[in-house]
Amino acid sequence: MVVRSCVLIVLSVILFTSCKRVKEDIDNPVLGNETVTFMITRLPDNHQFKDDIYLSGNFEGWSGGRPRFKLSKLDKQYVMTLPKYKEQISFKFTLGSWDKVECAQNGNPIENRSYIFNKLNDTVDVEIVKWHDSMITDKSSTASKNVEVFSSTFYIPQLKRTRKISVYLPPSYEVTNNSFPVLYMLDGQNVFDASTSYSGEWEVDETLNNLYKEKGFELIVVAIDHGADKRVNEYSAWNSKKYGLGEGDAFLNFITQHLKPAIDKHYRTKTGPLNTAILGSSLGGLFAHFTAFKEPEVFGLVGVFSPSFWYTNECYTFTKERAHGTHSRLYYLAGEKESDSMVFNINKMVKLIKSEGFPEKNIYLKVNPNGTHSEIFWRDEFQEAITWLFQIK
């Protein structure tokens, strides 16, 4: 209790400075004077105090760990004061990347934390029981038998880095000579396997296995792992003063010029745009949207889940210039419980697309009143999205 009191005294002195510093980095204007101070009161037994802890969430782009959202160390405790900028935030704590995110005692992902701003100077105690990497060797894979690793180190020449690529094969792939449509998915760590996910898996393999039993529909899925601290840059095609160089154009070029040809050569794929889809969520949703209008002759089916249109207004200008020249099928999804701007922004974008003459029958917008910014929400909506995109009867 003495330590806690000392920490609170120190915080009362630096509160104004801390709030001003953090306020400069969040994405939307502050709506009120409420603040919350997060205090880490429990850490894993093997945690080293020399390690830095970061707060990452929907207020800073789910980066995994930005320097300006690093918790302060006071009297052997980690603390951070955050001002209000919208009614509710979703977040997690990391050691600087999603590879080292907090998890449950058994190593499985935990739900996103959330906080509603309703006090002037609130304090929240936080317990972190495990870090993801401390348990990863003990976790069992949940991926189905028809999921394989295409490459652990697939080279990205445009960005001079490598990436893990995993592939889901249809149940009949080994016993037929059929060719299959292909779906490319971003944030591949979360697509098939709870042991590699940082916030829960989409269960795409289980969903598609069941869909085959029910409808006979089969699909190849290519899951591209995100680039950890490079995720924000790779999924945005626009430069940002806050987030740095936009590498989305180069990353898309990698997919179209290097990854897709390698997949088409190695597997029996249907290669046309109406048999080639891409789907992503959050920043991955922003990238999928960019792909729809940058490479419509390659990706004719696009799923855009909870897109980060807040990232830059340039995405609207880009879309306006290109929306009239494509006849792709676009599926947009948002949840009313995600953020203050999510539904507004996605409605704004869809309205813009339609106003430019994009065929209305080729665009679908779903707003779920209970949808949150989470893998659980996207997992539950996945089957409906691909059913519409691929016109599964």
DSSP state, residue 125: E
Residue 141: predicted pLDDT: 87
* Residue pointed to by tokens 């109406």: 274
What distance lies between CA 108 and its chain's CA centroid? 18
Torsion of CA 322, 181, 378, 199, to 10 degrees: -110
Provide the residue ranges of all domains of the chain, joining segments of one domain with +.
2-135, 140-389
Q: What is the full per-residue pLDDT of the chain (393 aa) written as tens digits?
A: 444 544 444 444 333 333 333 333 444 435 567 899 999 999 999 999 999 999 998 787 777 888 889 999 988 899 999 988 667 788 999 999 887 889 888 777 788 898 988 888 899 999 999 997 644 444 678 999 999 999 999 999 999 999 999 999 999 999 999 999 999 999 999 999 988 887 789 999 999 999 999 999 999 999 999 998 899 999 999 998 878 899 999 999 999 999 999 999 999 999 999 999 999 999 999 999 999 999 999 999 999 999 999 999 999 999 999 998 777 999 999 999 887 789 999 999 999 999 999 999 999 999 999 998 889 999 999 999 999 999 999
Rounded distance, CA 351 to CA 92, Å?
A: 33
Burial class (CB in 10 A: 0-12, 13-18, 19+), 11: buried
Q: Which residues pair with 224 in a beta bridge?
A: 165
Classified as helix, coil or strand, 324 is helix
Residue 210: predicted pLDDT: 97
DSSP state, residue 123: E
Residue 157: predicted pLDDT: 97
Which of 90, 109, 88 shows the shortest CA–CA distance to 98?
109
Whole-Å CA distances, 119 to 19, 32, 87, 115, 359: 15, 10, 11, 11, 47
Domain 140-389 in CATH 3.40.50.1820? The answer is yes
Classified as helix, coil or strand, 359 is coil
Rounded distance, CA 18 to CA 383, Å?
A: 44
Classified as helix, coil or strand, 345 is helix
Is the C-alpha dihedral spanning 68, 72, 78, 80 positive or negative?
Answer: negative
- Nearest 5°: the CA angle 46, 10, 63 is 55
Residue 26: predicted pLDDT: 46
Which of 319, 286, 298, 223 shows the shortest CA–CA distance to 253?
298
Rounded distance, CA 135 to CA 109, Å?
A: 11
Paired sense of beta strands 276-281 and 301-305, if any: parallel
Residue 89: predicted pLDDT: 85
Residue 135: predicted pLDDT: 43
Classified as helix, coil or strand, 266 is helix
Rounded distance, CA 167 to CA 52, Å?
A: 35
List the 161-168 sheet strands across, edge first: 147-156, 161-168, 220-224, 182-185, 276-281, 301-305, 329-335, 363-368
Record: fold of 2-135? Immunoglobulin-like (2.60.40)
Which of 102, 117, 124 shows the shortest CA–CA distance to 26?
117
Rounded distance, CA 180 to CA 370, Å?
A: 34
Q: Are 166 and 142 in contact (CB under 8 A)?
A: no
Q: Which helix (H) or strand (E) holds 147?
A: strand 147-156
Rounded distance, CA 220 to CA 264, Å?
A: 11
Rounded distance, CA 259 to CA 298, Å?
A: 12
